[in-house]
Amino acid sequence: MNLKAIKSDVTEVETGAVVVNLFEGVTKPSGATGAIDRALGGQLTQMIADGELTGSLGETRVVHTAGRLPARRVAVIGLGKREGLDLEAVRRAVGTATRQLLATGITEWHTVLHGGGSLKKTTPRDLAETIAEATMMGAYRWDRFKTTTGPTGDGRPVPKLEEVTVVEADGRKLPQIRRGLDRGSKIAEAVNYTRDLGNSPPNEMTPAALADHARKLGDQHAMEVEVLTVEDLKQQGMGGILGVGQGSHNLPRLIIVRYDRGRPSAKPTVIVGKAVTFDAGGISIKPSRHLEEMKFDKMGGCAVLGILKAAALLGLKQSLIGVIPAVENLPSAAAYRPGDILESYSGKTIEVINTDAEGRLILADGLAWASEQNPREIIDIATLTGACMVALGETAAGVFGDERAVSKFVEAGARTGDRAWALPLYDEFSENMRSEVADIKNAGGHWGGASNAAAFLKFFVDDAVQWTHIDIAGNAYVTKPRHYEPLGATGAGVRLVIEYLTSR
């Protein structure tokens, strides 16, 4: 897929579709849309008058030009109310339009920089970045396993997006626009890489397979990759990872990826990601409804690889260490049980109350290891609790921990649309996790489950180190496509953490 920018006019480009926009409530389009309307003899004005074109956010109307313009078609995308316009509205409108144009079989189009006239404080560079990001994220489709032999014939390969060209009349803006397109497409590439890893089925994407992907990533971007196997984990005393992984034929791994482009003296930021390649709950087995979705329980770890890929593509001058405990959580004769007591890497003991609270057990080892790396700060990212999803729905991650970092994450979430929302970590939540027989237990009471889990993690982080926990259980995947998020893994956390790292 190719993204470029040219100096031209929308009425002059020869293309599959020229994409312009409309605000809600406008009865007579102006600007680029107005020029197109005039060339079409007022057809768009007519459609608005007849209620067939409203400009509501996400609306996409495609009309054929029948030779009245060099473009074969005109696509009008709705941007919603002018007062409500922000970069996320542009991102969503462009994402929705991209999915719709592709579904119609259109694989090449020209577009204006939507919203440029109204978003006065936004640079053409930022707009171009947003449009590149939304186009590539919206065009994503996970169809690696689709063949032509499906029972309904729907295995036909859906056309892939070929080329999108930004049309700008003011040639002085082109260098800026090109820089924005470049940055946006690099970020989207990392997000789509994360989605590819995440969508891969659990029979293929085992802990060992994820480690192979990390090695490949390391080869591509000159990052050092270290993979601990069961033998190493035993030697290190990583009792959390070993406990969760012991019931599964696919053995656990601890994946460590070093991205080292900071100043020689720079302390590393350690990013820990939960990668449960399939979470059946173990002996505390989950109900079978929606169980197939638990292949997405590896999204925290996949996001860590995506963050490192984005850092490399963007050339971030920082020192980062990705740490990914990777396990499968299955019930079996060899599985760990409720009542078991595990000795974590920190030396602290954990009473297992529920084998389905496995993510925190593997993160306990990862966080204690991270604390030893003389870190600048620690960030962890995990599909950790259903409770976080109950609290925030499918539209935001929950963030916990260092208050200043948390508010920076909330701001980074608002800027990127990869949202984050602060949840509390009061002492009461730590009290909920107190065990009568070990140092801590892995499941507290029913209420405040997302905060209880965060309080458990906090117990394994060095108090002197700044730490933020990001729970992406709600937004790591979608079961219905929306705006720039096609079905499946969303890549949540990649844009959020990259924005945080570049703006802190």
**DSSP state letters, 233-265:** HHHHT-HHHHHHHTT-SS--EEEEEEEE-S-TT
The nearer residue to ligand BES, 297 or 340, going by C-beta atoms, is 297
Shortest CB 386 distance to ligand BES, Å: 3
Q: What residues contact residue 169 under an 8 Å CB cut-off, 6+ apart?
A: 7, 8, 9
* Secondary structure letter of residue 232 according to DSSP: H
Distances from the Cα of 418 to the Cαs of 47, 196, 289, 338, 450, in angstroms? 35, 18, 28, 36, 19
Kind plus residue range of the DSSP H or E element containing 115: none
| 3-class SS of residue 383 | coil
Q: Which residue is nearest to Mn ion (CB)?
A: 356
The nearer residue to Zn ion, 263 or 289, going by C-beta atoms, is 289
Give the length of the chain. 504
Shortest CB 155 distance to ligand BES, Å: 29
Residue 344 interacts, among Zn ion, ligand BES, Mn ion, none and using kind-specific CB cut-offs from 5 to 8 Å, with: none
Q: Which two tokens stand for residue 225?
A: 């990759």
Residue 279 in the binding site for Mn ion (CB under 5 A): yes
The nearer residue to ligand BES, 180 or 444, going by C-beta atoms, is 444
The nearer residue to ligand BES, 102 or 387, going by C-beta atoms, is 387
Residue 189 interacts, among ligand BES, Mn ion, Zn ion, none and using kind-specific CB cut-offs from 5 to 8 Å, with: none
Distance of CA 298 to the CA centre of its chain: 12
From 92, 173, 295, 360, the catalytic residue = 360
Q: Which residue is nearest to ligand BES (CB)?
A: 386
Q: How many chain residues are in contact with Mn ion, going by CB under 5 A?
A: 3
From 286, 415, 482, 504, the catalytic residue = 286
Shortest CB 293 distance to ligand BES, Å: 7
The nearer residue to Mn ion, 124 or 359, going by C-beta atoms, is 359
Residue 356 in the binding site for Mn ion (CB under 5 A): yes
Residue 243 interacts, among ligand BES, Zn ion, Mn ion, none and using kind-specific CB cut-offs from 5 to 8 Å, with: none
- Catalytic: 286? yes
> Helices 124-138 and 174-199: crossing angle, nearest 10°?
30
Shortest CB 356 distance to Mn ion, Å: 4
- Catalytic: 360? yes
Distance of CA 301 to the CA centre of its chain: 11
Distances from the Cα of 133 to the Cαs of 110, 128, 144, 159, in angstroms? 16, 8, 22, 19
* Secondary structure letter of residue 485 according to DSSP: B
In the complex, the residues that contact ligand BES under the rule CB under 6 A are 279, 297, 354, 356-359, 383-387, 389, 443, 449, 473
The nearer residue to ligand BES, 71 or 303, going by C-beta atoms, is 303
Contact of 361 with 277, CB cutoff 8 Å: no
Shortest CB 120 distance to ligand BES, Å: 40
Residues that bind Mn ion in the complex, under the rule CB under 5 A = 279, 356, 358
Q: State the catalytic residues.
A: 286, 360
